[in-house]
Structure 1
Amino acid sequence: MREDRQRLDKWLWFARFARTRSLAARLAEDGFVRVNGTRAENPAKGVGIGDVVTVAAPHATLAVRVRGLGERRGPAPEARLLYDDLAGGPTSDKPPG
């Protein structure tokens, strides 16, 4: 894989959309993730900066633009730097309510 791309499951885990990398892979395999509008059933699919990733989670559907690829699974504030929230929803910087 090219260096300007990262496996989808790894990116989802780094960005804290899943607690484990295997759960991130399951999200993709089970059809809950789209990349640029296309269902990503392969967790090895490459994502790059500028791609739009949509995750259909049980509590909300989140659409984000990839801003960085990350090198590790860090704390939440570090993970938040990997994407821009396109909907202004649950991943926004403002607390709900």
Structure 2
Amino acid sequence: MTRHEEQPAARQRIDKWLFFARLRKSRSLAAKSVEAGDVRINDLAIRQPSHMVRPGDVIVLSLDRHDMVVKVLLPGERRGPYEEARLLYHDMTPPQPPREERTIFAQATRERGTGRPTKRERREIDRLHGGPGDDED
């Protein structure tokens, strides 16, 4: 047995790991996000796709609408199905706070599937909002 077969690689390139863990769609996109500064490892900003990660490292990945925090559990061997990729990390992302209700610009809503409002309903809506259908002269 060679040395490579005896001991699995404990370290792996970050771009490769992000691709194997299915956190990025391709390895080149993973490399671009690392170069753009969207990835932090153990609270250090990295800019090199060749940076090595090992089990125990905490990765913060900036996505479009939120940041994802994961802890590396295993190096990846291939880009497998989601169930297999999910075993490579532990998701430590804090839950998103609930969205606040928008009260400044309240919008009249209707139950889904009830169709368009009738003329009478539109007049009532306009009266509520003080719009053009307001009969109070």
Question: Shared topology, TM-score over 0.5?
Answer: yes
Gaps of 5+ in 2: 1-8, 97-137
- RMSD of the alignment, in Å? 1.6
1:13 aligns with 2:13: no
1:54 aligns with 2:63: no
Task: Determine the C-alpha separation between the residues in 2 that align with 1:88 and 1:15.
Answer: 19
* Counterpart mapping for 1:1-97 below 5 A: 3-87=9-93, 89=95
Task: Determine the C-alpha separation between the residues in 2 that align with 1:27 and 1:89.
Answer: 23
Instruction: Give the helix-richer structure, 1 or 2.
Output: 2
Report SS of the residue matched to 1:50: coil
AA aligned opposite 2:92 = L
Question: Percent identical across equivalent pairs?
Answer: 45
Who wins on radius of gyration, i.e. which is larger?
2
Q: Deviations over 1:17-65 (max 9, x none)?
A: 1110000000100000000000110000000000001100103200000
Q: Compute the TM-score of the two structures, normalised by the length of structure 2.
A: 0.62
Instruction: Give the strand-richer structure, 1 or 2.
Output: 1
Q: How many residues align?
A: 89
Runs of at least 4 residues of structure 1 off by over 2 A? 87-90
Gaps of 5+ in 1: 91-97
AA aligned opposite 1:82 = L
Task: Determine the C-alpha separation between the residues in 2 that align with 1:40 and 1:68.
Answer: 20
Cα contact 1:62–1:89 (8 A) shared by 2: no
Q: Compute the TM-score of the two structures, normalised by the length of structure 1.
A: 0.86
Asked which structure has the greater RCO (Cα within 8 Å, sep 6+), the reply is 1
